[in-house]
Structure 1
């Protein structure tokens, strides 16, 4: 059975994963939600105004009342810069499976932050929440995201054609990855 714990603070060597706050909205907009390079890989596309981001952040903050809501802001320990977000979602109580998704601001790509954040959330999901399987997907034109998934032990299970349609009305094929709790525990150091 999934042990729902909400969104507790998680720490890694370089990151603090914490609840997002309304006061973060401008930084969320500036650092990733308004950037086409980041948001092209997501269904809704880049935000055009900070008011759109305020609305989204307000919705996230409101959802923290639910123990079944797991959404973290990713913050650098040294500078306090907000660099992205990561969440567990689509929980299935019958299979005890869920999905994970993440966004990192372009300025912080290729520095290992996505891998570090994903590793922390996967570990939390398996150890604390008792999730059976965690899945993720990435557009085929974003292979760096697949590299992050493989680094933490996820395996590609297949490709789904036209899995999403982005904000520019283009269909995109996605690679689907998964990791079982039992496999994670066999391979974790």
Structure 2
């Protein structure tokens, strides 16, 4: 794909991250809870972190190894992000976050379903998986709502800030 795809759902537009999104990304991710609930969001979250993330996202798209979509409302305002990253062997990893004002509205579930469809139909992955920290069951509920099934609990799989964490892995297959 030469041009970054745009996916529309009933309430959302999933599109490429833009420089204009950086202040909003920084504002949303200032809350410590994002660092506590994810493996790769630092605290405090700085403008340089957002700029670096946008650069990495663009490189992944250019190299055909990943798609990081801004989750936007129909007025084109960013609310969060969702990504699908190629892990070889016809499988990809799904990851997401959304700003606190948009929690518990079904928006990530809606975005994740659209990204799964994109991953299976357009990118032809056989398997899409996702993980969450054991202490973040809300993320697991999203995975279940989009049809993923729990595969395993991986003990002390992730090291963050000098501490080891168990993670839960979910997956769904094309068929």
CA contact (8 A) 1:5 1:68 kept: no
- Give TM-score, length-normalised by structure 2: 0.90
Q: Residue 178 of structure 1: which of 167, 171, 174 is its match?
A: 171
Would you say 1:20 and 2:14 are equivalent positions?
no
- The 2-side partners of 1:139 and 1:5 are apart by 35
**What is aligned with 2:103?**
109
**What is aligned with 2:127?**
133
**What is aligned with 1:160?**
154
Relative contact order (alpha carbons < 8 A, sep ≥ 6): 1 or 2 greater? 1
- The 2-side partners of 1:147 and 1:53 are apart by 27
Structure 1 position 5, deviation (Å)? 7.2
In the TM superposition, what whole-angstrom CA distance separates every residue of 1:43-64 from its partner, at most 9, and x where no partner exists?
2323442223223223323443
Unpaired stretches in structure 1, ≥5 consecutive residues? 183-189
Moved more, 131-140 or 44-53: 44-53
Equivalent runs, 1:63-142 vs 2, <5 Å:
63-77=60-74, 79-92=75-88, 95-142=89-136
In the TM superposition, what whole-angstrom CA distance separates every residue of 1:35-79 from its partner, at most 9, and x where no partner exists?
2112212223234422232232233234432333311111111x4
Helix, strand or coil for the counterpart of 2:62? coil
Size of the aligned set, in residue pairs, is 174
Q: Residue 46 of structure 2: which of 45, 49, 72 is its match?
A: 49
- The 2-side partners of 1:12 and 1:38 are apart by 25
- The 1-side partners of 2:173 and 2:64 are apart by 22
**What is aligned with 2:33?**
37
User: What is the alpha-carbon root mean square deviation over aligned residues?
Assistant: 1.8
Unpaired stretches in structure 2, ≥5 consecutive residues? none
Structure 1 position 140, deviation (Å)? 0.7
- The 1-side partners of 2:154 and 2:91 are apart by 19
